[in-house]
Amino acid sequence: MSDRYAVMGNPVAHSKSPQIHTRFAELTDQALTYGAVHVESPDFETEVGRFLQGDGKGLNITVPFKERAWALAQWRSERAERAGAANTLYRLEDGRLAADNTDGVGLVRDLRDNHGVKLAGARVLVLGAGGAVRGVMHPLLEAGVGSVLIANRTVSRAEELASLFTDEGEVSACGFDAIPAEAFDLVINGTSASLQGELPPVPAAVVAANTACYDMMYGAEPTPFCQWAMDLDAGRVIDGLGMLVEQAAEAFSVWRGVTPETASVIDQLRASLDTK
């Protein structure tokens, strides 16, 4: 019987993870199945334990359960520890539940490897101070960025998040209304504004001809943030589809010990978005 994997969340029907991991298995000749498991909030911990036994080998965890997955684990990678959330679960050889967080690695690989964005020494502006941003801070700083300014509507949340990472590099915080009117090398939208068709209140001056603008969200059409960046003639405008595939590839590698090729999977997903 094939090893079983799945994405677990609520909602989960929209997830592209089954499509991505099934393709990874084909590309790497791995015998496994990958499904989607919708769980109700009170049942999450029970369902994780039920799935990860026998031929159930690994889970990806999505909203709203990433923090609970982290808390449930008996061993955590450093990047999961720093993120305070987990998107990847599996059993260690001794049976303990292990947690990892591959979101930030996915972002860094998409920026650096897929799009050639120079991270070393970069001045970075990150919009938002929620779980999505916390999940990418450690890998960004590990990649050698020069500084990170976290801007958020509620300043105290940005300050609290920044304080968790000042031991790793130059990290500061401000409100949206206090973002300096000067160009950054990289602007990352980690808010959910794009899901509501909205744009965070950001001064146009943060974007110059050499600025890369990255939205963690994606869609068939440019997100409001990406459209704003294109209108300002940003040097690079990138949405989060590549991050989705790259974080999945890292989870696949954690589980299976083999890293799948991602470019063709990204292209396939992009084409499927464009035809809907």
CATH number at residue 176: 3.40.50.720
Examine the domain organization and report whether 122 and 27 are in the same domain.
no
For the record, the structure tokens of 128 come out as: 């938002």
Annotated binding site for shikimate: 15-17, 62, 87, 103, 218, 247
What's residue 1's pLDDT? 72
Q: In what order do the strands lie in the sheet with 56-61?
A: 32-38, 3-9, 56-61, 88-91, 97-100, 75-76
**Residue 66 designated active-site:** yes
What's residue 276's pLDDT? 59
Range of the domain at 114: 104-241
CA dihedral 204, 208, 210, 212 (to 10 degrees): 0
Q: Report how far residue 249's alpha carbon sits from residue 253's, in angstroms, rounded to the nearest whole number.
A: 6
Helices (H), the chain: 17-28, 44-51, 66-72, 78-83, 103-109, 131-142, 155-163, 224-231, 241-256, 263-274
Q: 228 near 199, Cβ under 8 Å?
A: yes
Q: Is the pLDDT of residue 78 over 80?
A: yes
Q: What angle do CA 224, 122, 204 make, to 5 degrees?
A: 35
Examine the domain organization and report whether 95 and 136 are in the same domain.
no
Domain count, the chain: 2
Biggest distance spanned by C-alpha atoms of the chain: 59
Annotated binding site: 15-17, 62, 78, 87, 103, 128-132, 152-157, 216, 218, 240, 247
Examine the domain organization and report whether 195 and 72 are in the same domain.
no
What's residue 131's pLDDT? 94
Span 85-92, average pLDDT: 97
Examine the domain organization and report whether 48 and 153 are in the same domain.
no
**Please, which pLDDT band fits residue 54 given cuts at 50, 70 and 90?**
confident
Q: Report how far residue 170's alpha carbon sits from residue 60's, in angstroms, rounded to the nearest whole number.
A: 31
Per-residue pLDDT tens for 8-17?
Answer: 999 999 999 9
Annotated binding site for NADP(+): 78, 128-132, 152-157, 216, 240
For the record, the structure tokens of 26 come out as: 């084909």
For the record, the structure tokens of 232 come out as: 């300002």
Span 187-210, average pLDDT: 94
Q: Report how far residue 100's alpha carbon sits from residue 78's, in angstroms, rounded to the nearest whole number.
A: 8
Examine the domain organization and report whether 62 and 131 are in the same domain.
no
What's residue 7's pLDDT? 98
Per-residue pLDDT tens for 162-173?
Answer: 999 999 999 999
To the nearest whole percent, how much of the chain has pLDDT over 90? 95
* Marked catalytic residue, from 57, 66, 118, 276: 66
